[in-house]
């Protein structure tokens, strides 16, 4: 028996989640394994990037040299890049596929013919998305902790925890955004397109706001800042994580509102 939409959302991914975990662990270990080599070439890299503080800033650092510290290396090569992007693909996939996708596949009538409230459907999907994303992050973190010393990174457990929770929360924001767009519009294409577009825009805005003065105002309001700007590996959990959680709650509320008020398409 699959007792709820929450369970069903997880059940649907019971096999694919393994591949997501393995893929991300592989990517993470490959990046970590390259660190000793980078460390050997550190001076060369630093001289190449000399004076490029703007480049360091887009990963939340002040000096170029910080990019080659373990924390800087992990953020600039993994957490502000591939790991975040892949996790976003995962969450946006669930977000867009769950309400809009179910309507597109025309199974929504059958689901809503059961005694389940629309708001419950939304909450269950957000819950399942959170559990699945945190599960992937946990798997990645276990692999990181196991190899931390081997690859000379020497980062703290708290640092890994804060970074993995942070990247999961940021990815969840875009997943729930996709869910909300799908819940309001019923269109899977809009859900993917708008969530991806907003993510790209916020990344560009974050990059520019570190160097372009008239965009500076946007920095405190940008979810990318809440994660990358909080320097999780060195500073641990930041109060900005609260803003990420609040954003997820607000987007969930919008999704509920949007889904409850409209006609379900055939």
Partner 1 sequence: MTSAITTHELTKFYGRTRGIEDVDLEVREGEVFGFLGPNGAGKSTTIRVLLDFIRPTKGAASVLGLDARRDSIEIKRRVGYLPGELAMYEKMTARELFGYFAGLRGMSDLGDAEALSERLELDPDIKIRKYSTGNRQKVGLVQAMMHRPELLILDEPTGGLDPLIQAEVHRVIDEVRSDGRTVFLSSHVLPEVERVADRVGIIRRGHLVVVDDVAEIKRHAVRKLILRFGDPVDPDVFGGLPAVVSVHALNEHEVEVAVEGSVDPVIKKAAEFETTSVTADDGDLEAAFLSFYADEGEAVP
Report yes or no: 75 and 228 within 8 Å, Cβ to Cβ.
yes
Q: Which stretch binds partner 1 (CB under 8 A): 68-76, 174-182, 235-243, 258-266?
A: 258-266
Among 19, 47, 117, 216, binds partner 1 (CB under 8 A): 117
SS3 string, 71-134, reads HHHHHHHHHHHHHHHHHHHHHHHHHHHHCHHHHHCCCHHHHHCCCCCHHHHHHHHHHHHHHHHH
Which CA distances in Å does 243 have to 170, 216, 220, 238, 239? Answer: 10, 18, 10, 10, 7
Which CA distances in Å does 199 have to 10, 90, 182, 192, 221? Answer: 25, 14, 16, 11, 14
16 is a site residue for partner 1 (CB under 8 A): no
Nearer Cβ to partner 1 (7/42): 7
Task: Please tell me the distance from the alpha carbon of residue 252 to that of residue 175, in angstroms, as a whole number.
Answer: 10
Nearer Cβ to partner 1 (116/204): 116
Among 2, 52, 150, 250, binds partner 1 (CB under 8 A): 2
Nearer Cβ to partner 1 (51/115): 115
Interaction pattern, residues 52-91, with partner 1; x per rule: CB under 8 A:
----------------------------------------
167 is a site residue for partner 1 (CB under 8 A): no
Shortest distance in whole angstroms from residue 115 CB to partner 1: 4
Among 40, 51, 62, 110, binds partner 1 (CB under 8 A): 110
Task: Please tell me the distance from the alpha carbon of residue 62 to that of residue 56, in angstroms, as a whole number.
Answer: 6
Among 27, 39, 142, 264, binds partner 1 (CB under 8 A): 264
239 is a site residue for partner 1 (CB under 8 A): no
107 is a site residue for partner 1 (CB under 8 A): yes
* Residue found by looking up tokens 């309400």 in the block: 99
Q: Hey, is 160 helix, strand or coil?
A: helix
19 is a site residue for partner 1 (CB under 8 A): no
Task: Please tell me the distance from the alpha carbon of residue 185 to that of residue 176, in angstroms, as a whole number.
Answer: 14
116 is a site residue for partner 1 (CB under 8 A): yes
Nearer Cβ to partner 1 (6/68): 6
| Binding residues for partner 1 (CB under 8 A) | 1-5, 7-8, 12, 105-117, 263-264, 266
């Amino acid at each position: 028996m699959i007792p709820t939409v929450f369970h069903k959302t997880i059940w649907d991914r019971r096999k694919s989640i393994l591949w997501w975990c393995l893929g991300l662990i592989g990517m993470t270990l490959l990046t970590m394994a390259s660190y000793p080599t980078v460390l050997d070439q550190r001076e060369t890299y630093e001289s190449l990037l000399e004076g490029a503080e703007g480049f360091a800033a887009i990963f939340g650092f002040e000096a170029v040299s910080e990019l080659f510290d373990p924390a800087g290396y992990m953020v600039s090569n993994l957490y502000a890049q591939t790991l975040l992007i892949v996790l976003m693909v995962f969450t946006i996939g669930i977000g867009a596929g769950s309400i809009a996708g179910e309507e597109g596949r025309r199974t929504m009538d059958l689901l809503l013919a059961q005694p389940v409230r629309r708001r419950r459907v939304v909450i269950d999907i957000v819950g399942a998305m959170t559990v699945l994303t945190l599960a992937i992050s946990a798997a990645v973190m276990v692999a990181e902790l196991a190899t931390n010393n081997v690859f000379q990174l020497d980062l703290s457990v708290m640092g890994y925890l804060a970074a993995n929770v942070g990247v999961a929360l940021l990815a969840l924001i875009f997943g729930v955004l996709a869910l909300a767009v799908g819940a309001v519009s019923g269109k899977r294409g809009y859900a993917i397109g708008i969530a991806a577009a907003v993510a790209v825009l916020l990344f560009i805005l974050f990059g520019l706001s570190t160097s372009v003065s008239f965009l500076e105002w946007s920095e405190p309001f940008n979810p990318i800042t809440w994660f990358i700007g909080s320097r999780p590996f060195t500073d641990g959990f930041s109060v900005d994580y609260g803003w990420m959680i609040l954003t997820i709650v607000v987007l969930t509320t919008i999704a509920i509102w949007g889904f409850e008020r409209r006609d379900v398409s055939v």
